[in-house]
Chain A
């Protein structure tokens, strides 16, 4: 088998055999249901409908892309890079007939695949739980349409975050160190624009909710292209730098 494909399957199998990763998927499925129940309950008691079934999937996605998804991604990336260095299990792959580049790339591919699956789980859970919020069939269909689009778009910033987390993980020999640092970098990245507003334009972390840019009635193509290019260029730079550090690692 092609070594890249072989290790993509390996990394995916390894990730999904970990209870931590399974827990992330369960949390991702339960949160939309819990929030929908809460909204329905509030609606029954006070008559105020905070979010209708149309906007529900996008509303839920917004909650995930700012905090929970980055946290899950940092955790996974910390585990498959720094965690494996700490446990010594990285050696298992390094002595097989596969280049370090293919190992690095296949790990990023497995992370991306897990992100796509997780987004699918969130979408399905929020669509199902959206039924609790009532509304007409056409409202629900509009929610379905916007929801699918938003979730597909969210893949881009989340994969970029995974690449950034993989880069940070190269500096550590334990998953806890890598995870803490990724979270710290993310928090700084999110709050820096408050102090220096200019940075919001160039920092990858400012675009985690970029799906919102696409959903307004008036699309601004140049803003979308700009956001996409920032994520793409950051990803290329961080992937290359991360791979360089991975390649020179001596174990």
Chain B
């Protein structure tokens, strides 16, 4: 299978010595890969480093075969992402926000902008300023900006964070249908095990800056009642390992 993302030995530590150590994993075409871990486990750090917001101390990251340090433009040309929160220019309309993003890609014009606004249910607010949007609307606009360029790979950090139950279900269903219909590969993070179980086909468990376990949801559910149970077991085991060490 085609590797969309390849992370090898990624280490990124902050001044306070927190961060992530020796993270290696691959994401294949068609995956909805989930990063599950508590707050502060290092999920966002890994994602930030992949898209170049942070610089790694060690390790290598390739997206669609392109190294993100040496060939940043090529590596990012087929990537869409939301890191931390969906940020937009508040003083601009939803349409103008997407217009700004569209200029980096060939063949993305007004038609495609309206198409993605329609997809995320914001078409009737296209000319409204983002400052008047609710959190859920901003999140949906962020998703529209992430998928605007018809990317092959989309990275979403806590895409359902701050959303209500209905909003969470909307985003989840949107991702699942996009993965199926448009063959987009997703890399999402969350601290909600149930969310990941419903959305992903593969997950990586991150705890205290280490990737402690990886597996497919199908395999995990063969031996465990839920992903949550699996997560708690893995987190306890890893604490045990640390104590034993």
A residues at B contact (CB < 8 Å): 1, 3, 6-7, 9-10, 13-14, 17-18, 87-89, 91-92, 94-99, 248, 250-251
A-B contacts, 21 of them at CB < 8 A, read A1-B103, A7-B103, A13-B99, A14-B89, A14-B100, A17-B89, A88-B84, A88-B85, A89-B88, A91-B53, A91-B83, A92-B89, A92-B100, A94-B51, A97-B104, A97-B105, A98-B104, A248-B55, A250-B53, A251-B48, A251-B54
- A99 close to B53 (CB less than 8 A): no
- A250 close to B54 (CB less than 8 A): yes
| Docked CA distance A248–B54 (Å) | 9
Of A7, A97, A98, A250, chain B has the most CB atoms within 10 Å of the CB of A97
| Residues of chain A contacted by B48 (CB below 8 angstroms) | 251
Of A13, A18, A88, A92, chain B has the most CB atoms within 10 Å of the CB of A92
Q: Give the interface SS of chain A, mostly helix, strand, loop or mixed.
A: loop
Q: A99-B73, A251-B53 are in contact. Are A92 and B87 (CB under 8 A)?
A: yes
Q: Shortest Cβ distance from B86 into chain A, in angstroms?
A: 10
| Docked CA distance A1–B145 (Å) | 17
Q: Which of B65-81 contact A (CB under 8 A)?
A: 72-74, 76-77, 79, 81
Q: Which of B76, B88, B89, B96 has a CB less than 8 Å from the CB of A96?
A: B76
| Docked CA distance A99–B52 (Å) | 10
- A1 close to B106 (CB less than 8 A): yes
Q: Shortest Cβ distance from A247 into chain B, in angstroms?
A: 9
| Residues of chain B contacted by A7 (CB below 8 angstroms) | 103-104
- B83 close to A95 (CB less than 8 A): yes
| Docked CA distance A7–B84 (Å) | 23
- A92 close to B88 (CB less than 8 A): yes
Nearest A residue to B78, CB-CB: A97
Q: Shortest Cβ distance from A64 into chain B, in angstroms?
A: 27
- A97 close to B73 (CB less than 8 A): yes
- B101 close to A96 (CB less than 8 A): yes
| Residues of chain B contacted by A250 (CB below 8 angstroms) | 53-55
Q: Which of A3, A9, A17 has a CB less than 8 Å from the CB of B73?
A: A3
| Docked CA distance A118–B19 (Å) | 46
- A10 close to B53 (CB less than 8 A): no
Nearest B residue to A13, CB-CB: B100
Interface residue? B91 (CB, 8 A)? yes
- A10 close to B100 (CB less than 8 A): yes
Nearest B residue to A6, CB-CB: B103
Q: Shortest Cβ distance from B184 into chain A, in angstroms?
A: 16
| Residues of chain B contacted by A87 (CB below 8 angstroms) | 87, 90
